[in-house]
Amino acid sequence: MLRVFGAPSRYLQGPNALAEMGPYLSHIGKRASLVADTIVMDLIGYRVQQVCAAADLNCESLIFTGDIVPAEIDRLSALARAQRPDFIIGAGGGKGIDAGKAVAHALDIPVVTIPTAASNDAPTSKNYVIYDENHRLLRVGHMKRNPEVVVVDTAIIINAPLRMLTAGIGDAIVKKFEVAQCIGAGGPNMFGAAACQAASALSELCYSTLRAHAAGALGAEKNKIIDEDFERVVEAAVLLSGLAFESGGLSIAHAMTRGLSAVRGARDALHGHQVAYALLVQLTLERRSAEFIDDIAAFYKEVQLPTSLAALGLAQPTEAELGTIAEQTMTAKHVKNFERALSASEIVAAVRLVEQRYSEES
């Protein structure tokens, strides 16, 4: 199998990165359409317009409803076509970024991403998620290329709610273990190819960065101080996490988002919180020692990540709900990227073990 590594063309990060993005954007074209919901448009819309104007770029706005469903993507794409942009700017949390990617994909033009929270790795990756009207995952779209420029303004990110950063830490902490399983099983990365060494090295760096700096970063965010801990953790959550999974591959923790999104309470949890919990299940399935998993669970406590279904929003799960989690997890293709073939009953048993060990503690 061919080894493939993919990445954004440019990644900018720092306080007021937004103010300095002009020259990077003007390399792409002369006309941009900014996709964002009303909250994000109020937050950064005017500044994006100003920075674009200073770089001799025309920038028009497209207000996103916040629901990333096919009808909304069609509506935004039709409006975007009329604006004739050379590229799309997608801004916001996960959904605003994904809406920008979906419109750029529909128009077959590049995308620039501006995350307003470090809650996931969507800003760097080429994929985006579309839901149906009932908020169920409908499909994962893949752009031909990664975002052209990723603009991570830490002066904006520091003001996002704290739980957004804990979700970003959750989405990132899992990558080392998923990449290792996917590579070990000979599974494909997001390019349908084998992983380069770079992907596992980045996943290791992502993990060690979080273990060393995540608690400090949460403290920094509480005090609204952009320090080295904060910068490193934002980079781990947005850049390292994205590069690691896309070029390294995914496994059980991400496969379980299918199951956890199908049950009450847990379905409303942030993606990063879902995968963090699911990693405890994956490590149990890997038959890791109790000490090893206890150490990860202790870290979760420190950085406010869930160690039980109750903490995720699913208090007192029924047998039927545990069954649904396992069966839906088995439908995800990443479930094959594991050291052995799994069954739904093994997943239920692993979830039960995690619940026994950690549910009272949460």
| Chain residues in the site for Zn ion (CB under 5 A) | 171
Q: How far is the CB of 275 from Zn ion (least distance, A)?
A: 6
Give the number of C-alpha atoms closer than 13 A to the C-alpha of residue 2, restricted to the C-beta side.
7
Q: How far is the CB of 254 from Zn ion (least distance, A)?
A: 6
Q: Which is nearer to Zn ion, 171 or 355 (CB)?
A: 171
* CA distance linking residue 244 with residue 121, whole number of Å: 10
Give the number of C-alpha atoms closer than 13 A to the C-alpha of residue 64, restricted to the C-beta side.
32
Q: How far is the CB of 93 from Zn ion (least distance, A)?
A: 13
Q: How far is the CB of 242 from Zn ion (least distance, A)?
A: 9
* CA distance linking residue 227 with residue 261, whole number of Å: 35
Write 76-84 long-range contacts (CB < 8 A, 24+). 76/35, 76/102, 76/103, 77/102, 77/103, 77/106, 77/107, 80/33, 80/35, 80/106, 80/107, 81/107, 83/31, 83/33, 84/31
* CA distance linking residue 26 with residue 23, whole number of Å: 5
* CA distance linking residue 324 with residue 309, whole number of Å: 14
Q: Which is nearer to Zn ion, 171 or 229 (CB)?
A: 171
Q: Which is nearer to Zn ion, 107 or 236 (CB)?
A: 236
Q: How far is the CB of 69 from Zn ion (least distance, A)?
A: 20
- Closest of 129, 155, 153, 204 to residue 11, by C-alpha: 153
Sheet arrangement for strand 58-63: 10-14, 149-153, 111-115, 87-92, 31-36, 58-63
Q: Which is nearer to Zn ion, 98 or 171 (CB)?
A: 171
* CA distance linking residue 78 with residue 214, whole number of Å: 42
The residue whose Cβ lies closest to Zn ion is 171
Q: Which is nearer to Zn ion, 37 or 171 (CB)?
A: 171
Q: Which is nearer to Zn ion, 127 or 324 (CB)?
A: 127
Q: How far is the CB of 281 from Zn ion (least distance, A)?
A: 15
Are the beta carbons of 167 and 119 closer than 8 angstroms?
yes
Q: How far is the CB of 28 from Zn ion (least distance, A)?
A: 26
Q: Which is nearer to Zn ion, 33 or 247 (CB)?
A: 247
Q: Which residues contact 351 (CB under 8 A, 6 or more apart)?
A: 281, 309, 322, 325, 326
Q: How far is the CB of 171 from Zn ion (least distance, A)?
A: 4
Instruction: Show the tokens assigned to 64.
Output: 């996103």
Q: Which is nearer to Zn ion, 24 or 277 (CB)?
A: 277
